[in-house]
């Protein structure tokens, strides 16, 4: 039996197709693509021949039922998939056209370019300052003046500076849950990545903190390419420019969010977003 056809709409930017936009000017960095990517954990296939191009300088949401491969796709992008001893990946994962799994890729350097924030915030048991400085030091920043400047910049980009500027030496665990999550985003932003991956970043937060995270995504997409995994369909519709629907390890549909949530092309997408399954 042939595989179901994937519905991938032309991802126009300002009315132009990506290829035409690229021909009109310099190519943007932070371009991520999965090409015929399959991932196995032992004998279980988590992703099945997924091809997905992530538009640069935009927010792309990955949605779908639990176990459909969303987090696996996210982890494949910066090679966190390799931390699972029985994991195996085929296909190509590209950053700016280069296969990130091809030797001699420097994995540490890759993860500076592609930061990740996890579902449950995980600040270090250090000061607010040292949490962010850790990421800056990974980027090779050594002098105190440079560290101070980068810590402030990262905290400002994470919309946290005004709340913590007078207590940078306080422990990170003294912050609220929403603040700790934004601190983790600041830590990921300190090396000045081109891509930011977020795995359910607001799933454990209250509505006010969730709104702050969504507002932050709106601001950050001007500077970095963002891929977010979320089970919250309303959040995907509100906070993303594009949405990809995955089901049973396959990409079913990719489109601009407003189109996918109002006029999905595939009946499986419509069934999922209307709550008939998933």
Segments making up each domain of the chain, as ranges: 29-123+194-273
pLDDT at 261 over 80: yes
pLDDT-derived band at 7 (thresholds 50, 70, 90) equals: low
d(C-alpha 260, C-alpha 253), whole Å? 8
pLDDT for 80: 93
Comparison of pLDDT for 222 and 168, the residue scoring more:
168
Task: Considering only residues 24 and 163, tell me which one the structure prediction assigns the higher pLDDT.
Answer: 163
Instruction: List the one residue out of 37, 166, 13, 29 whose CA is nearest residue 89.
Output: 37
pLDDT in tens, 194-217: 999 999 888 777 888 888 888 888
Work out the pLDDT band at 13, boundaries 50, 70, 90. very low
Q: Is the pLDDT of residue 93 over 80?
A: yes
pLDDT at 27: 59
Give me Rg for the CA atoms of the chain.
19
Query: What pLDDT does 230 receive?
Result: 93
**68-104 burial: b if 16+ Cβ within 10 Å, else e:** bbbbbbbbbbbbbbeeeeebebebbbbbbeeebbeee
pLDDT at 184: 92
Q: Can you tell me the mean pLDDT for 220-232? A: 92
* For residue 100, pLDDT beyond 80: yes
- Nearest alpha carbon to residue 61 among 256, 248, 250: 256
247, 268 Cβ separation under 8 angstroms: yes
Q: Point out the least confidently predicted range of 107-116, 150-159, 269-278.
A: 269-278
Q: In what order do the strands lie in the sheet with 7-8?
A: 7-8, 250-256, 242-247, 59-63, 225-229, 195-199, 114-117
Q: Is the pLDDT of residue 120 over 90?
A: no
Residue 176 contacts residue 206 (beta carbons within 8 Å): no
The 10s digit of each residue's pLDDT in 44-67 is 999 999 999 999 999 999 999 999
Q: What is the largest CA-CA distance in the chain?
A: 63
Homologous superfamily, domain 29-123+194-273: P-loop containing nucleotide triphosphate hydrolases (3.40.50.300)
Return the pLDDT at 263. 95
């Amino acid at each position: 039996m042939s595989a179901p056809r994937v519905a991938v709409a032309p991802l126009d930017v300002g009315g132009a197709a990506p290829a035409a936009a690229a021909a009109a000017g310099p190519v943007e960095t932070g371009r991520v693509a999965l090409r015929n990517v399959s991932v196995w954990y032992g004998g279980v296939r988590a992703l099945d021949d997924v091809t997905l191009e992530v538009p640069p300088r935009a927010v792309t949401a990955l949605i779908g039922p639990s176990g459909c491969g969303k987090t696996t796709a996210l982890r494949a992008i910066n090679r966190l998939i390799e931390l699972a001893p029985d994991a195996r990946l085929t296909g190509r994962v590209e950053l700016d056209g280069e296969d990130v799994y091809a030797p001699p890729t420097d994995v540490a350097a890759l993860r500076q370019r592609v930061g990740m924030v996890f579902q449950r915030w995980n600040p270090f048991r250090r000061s607010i300052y040292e949490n962010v400085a850790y990421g800056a030091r990974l980027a090779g920043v050594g002098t105190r003046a440079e560290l101070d400047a980068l810590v402030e910049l990262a905290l400002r980009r994470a919309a946290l500076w005004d709340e913590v500027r007078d207590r940078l030496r306080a422990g990170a665990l003294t912050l609220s849950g929403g603040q700790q999550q934004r601190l983790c985003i600041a830590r990921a932003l300190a090396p000045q990545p081109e891509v930011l991956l977020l795995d359910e970043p607001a799933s454990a937060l209250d509505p006010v903190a969730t709104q702050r995270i969504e507002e932050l995504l709106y601001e950050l997409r001007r500077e970095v390419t963002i891929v977010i995994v979320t089970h919250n369909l309303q959040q995907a519709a509100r906070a993303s420019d594009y949405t990809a629907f995955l089901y049973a390890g396959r990409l079913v549909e990719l489109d601009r969010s407003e189109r996918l949530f109002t006029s999905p092309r595939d009946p499986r997408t419509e069934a999922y977003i209307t709550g008939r399954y998933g």
